[in-house]
Amino acid sequence: MFKDLDPLLHSQLRLAVISILIGSEEADFVFIREKTNATAGNLSVQIEKLREAGYISVEKSFRGKMPRTTCRITPAGISAFEKYVAALNSYLRPK
């Protein structure tokens, strides 16, 4: 009756990161940290989990002398998010 929820996206911070990227396709680490109020260390760990799952890609570069980490949602991440939302809807509207 109820669909399984993706445990990777069921984490509040990882879901927040994916939600930010769904709306903008890409965002840098500082922007995501500010929007989520996460600590840099925790956010780094959660971004790495999403990257390992193939839900996001991560590019490290420099802007001048400052390091910059940019995250982009992948097609797999979009699909996982859509399935997660559909699964949540099955809880809201059980058949």
Any domain includes 74: yes
- The CATH number of the domain holding residue 58 is 1.10.10.10
Any domain includes 24: yes
> Which residues form the domain of 30?
12-92
Any domain includes 48: yes
Predicted confidence band of residue 25 (pLDDT cuts 50, 70, 90): confident
Q: How far apart are CA 67 and CA 79, in angstroms?
A: 30
Predicted confidence band of residue 1 (pLDDT cuts 50, 70, 90): low
Q: Answer whether residue 92 shows pLDDT above 70.
A: yes
How high does pLDDT run on average in the chain?
A: 93
Any domain includes 47: yes
Beta bridge partners of 28: 70
Summarised one tens digit per residue, pLDDT across range 43-54 is 999 999 999 999
Q: How far apart are CA 84 and CA 50, in angstroms?
A: 14
User: Is the pTM value of this prediction over 0.85?
Assistant: yes
